Structure 1
């Protein structure tokens, strides 16, 4: 892999590691500019504390991307999830705008104040999670992985089927996943369930044969 051009390495891994959830990150610059950009090198990493990880690649101009620069400077950001209804708007925020331009404003996003961090959240997203950085790991020149704690969550009431038991209707959110190749996405359809085995039950069943 090291002998290959980075674009080819990206194609191979990006085509195989799918689908990937999308973190539509909102962050705040030192000058108060709200940045919004989607990242699919993203996932949940632990529950005590509740942690996520986001991989932020280098800007093609040889610097940190605006999102990475904002997070490194402030340690705060919001992960907004992307549903089908926001697909085109999310794609607009991929634009290579200069740092002084707010993608949130450019895309006409409706923003709402966060509770525990300064960057605002996308008010119309099906779910948003306010985060504070725990570790910033440099994985290359101007390339960084952010490990962060989730401090506060916002979920649209319509997707909560049982508030007491914290049941969330995930399929109803129609979340997008990132797929292979340029511009390819997927929906969470064709679902099936496989129950996780338990050693005691499996062992007793085998012994009773």
Structure 2
């Protein structure tokens, strides 16, 4: 099959786009307002975009509290969402009134960050402390007002639970991070599904 996205006339019950671009890491973002209000939200349009310097980005459908809070204070934290925390992560996607703490709503514990004010999720095995760089409105081809906003941050500090450091390397599979797919689906990375490849230049 083939369809043009201008009409999105694919004839399927649901748009398959998100099922094609998958799996996508989840940016479980902690932010703090100028008043000290805490927001914790999962974003499936998230990824690392640079490693020198370390940068991450997430895209928000509308200017939600996370975007507003980050722009107010210039800081945020990306917490690693894992299989063991899947229900808590999902709970933080609830549409709560502005200023209501999603950490409390999901029965999660806040741990102080080292270099930024927003706390990290204490139960998360890894977290990236970030300074806000810019927000980019994602204006479509037709020139209409942007619906999505890309938030880019530079990582200034990294937290890792020492239990997952093995022979000087992070055992990512042991953490069992989850990723978003299409529809209501998620994937989980496990030791059983891990494989390694050497680049041609390394052979």
After TM superposition, is the score higher than 0.5? yes
CA displacement at 1:3 relative to structure 2: 3.1
**Do structure 1's residue 16 and structure 2's residue 15 form an aligned pair?**
no
Number of residue-to-residue matches in the alignment: 188
Q: TM-score, normalised by structure 1?
A: 0.84
**Do structure 1's residue 147 and structure 2's residue 146 form an aligned pair?**
no
Structure 1 partner of 2:164: 159
CA displacement at 1:142 relative to structure 2: 5.0
Structure 2 partner of 1:192: 195
CA RMSD after TM alignment: 1.9
String of CA shifts for 1:91-138, please: whole Å, max 9, x gaps: 000001111211111111100111111101111101001001112111
Matched residues in 1 for 2:128 and 2:80: separation?
9
List runs of 5+ in structure 1 lacking aligned partners: 59-63, 202-209
SS at match of 1:54: strand
Structure 2 partner of 1:97: 96
Q: Where do residues 25-174 of structure 1 align in structure 2 (5 Å cutoff)?
A: 25-58=29-62, 64-140=63-139, 141=146, 143-163=148-168, 167-174=169-176
* Max Rg structure: 1
Q: TM-score, normalised by structure 2?
A: 0.86
Matched residues in 1 for 2:147 and 2:102: separation?
21
Matched residues in 1 for 2:15 and 2:43: separation?
16
Matched residues in 2 for 1:116 and 1:13: separation?
37
